[in-house]
Amino acid sequence: MEQVDGLVPIEEVADRFAAELPDMTVDAFLSSLPTTQSTAGTPLPAEHDLRWAGDPLPVAELRVLAVSARRVDELTGQVKDAFLGQRGVELGPEWVQRRLDEARPMKLRDVARRLTYDLVARSQRIALAKARRRADGTLWLPTRLHERGGLLYRTSQEGRGDVGLRLDQLGTVLATCGVLHYDDQHWSVTSSGRALVD
């Protein structure tokens, strides 16, 4: 969103994003990613390693998304269920994996341009879905980024703090992994969860 200062055509934002990426195919980009699984099939901390690799933004984040998408075919059972969460959602790991696989022969920069349009469209759909009519009849949109006629503008700066932890989502993930149990509107630690703490 920092790329948007004043009225900026979406094409310009897409071009800026693309210019930050290496001039290579998606296939070459995916081949350059670190291994995500040991020879024994154990997940390796590729995302963590990439965060410390020192790649500039947005390359670092795109690399993290790509290795996470690779895990769609590597994880199994409850671990996979917890990792994927709600299945088939736009911008989720399965969606990213499908988009990258389909785009393997394409230039990474062209895919970045497409992704920019996808992200802008998605942000606008979310804002409209959460829109509320105020008492005075005006419409409130929960977004800082707006699009009108192919032009983007922002109404305020993005906050600099970390993303807030959503306890309900964390609880659901831990329940899927067998660490917590939810019954009669109360959470409790399972015996497996206690064993992890001890």
pLDDT in tens, 41-59: 899 999 999 988 889 889 9
Band of pLDDT at residue 66, cut at 50, 70 and 90: very high
> Residue 98 pLDDT > 70, yes or no?
yes
**Tokens encoding 19:** 């210019």
Residue carrying structure tokens 């299945």: 87
> Which alpha helices (H) appear in 3-107, and where do they start and end?
10-19, 26-31, 46-51, 59-70, 77-84, 93-102
Most confident of 8-12, 51-55, 97-101, 119-123: 97-101
Mean pLDDT of 108-136: 91
Per-residue pLDDT reduced to its tens digit, 167-183? 667 777 788 888 888 88
Give the span between the Cα atoms of 69 and 63, in whole angstroms: 10
**How does the average pLDDT of the chain come out, rounded?**
86
Give the span between the Cα atoms of 76 and 92, in whole angstroms: 17
pLDDT of residue 46: 93
Look at residues 32, 51, 35 and name the one whose alpha carbon lies nearest to residue 43.
35
> Residue 28 pLDDT > 90, yes or no?
yes
Burial of residue 46 (CB within 10 Å: 0-12, 13-18, 19+) is: buried
Give the span between the Cα atoms of 123 and 2, in whole angstroms: 15
Mean pLDDT of 4-22: 89
pTM strictly above 0.95 = no
Look at residues 20, 29, 17, 55 and name the one whose alpha carbon lies nearest to residue 107.
29
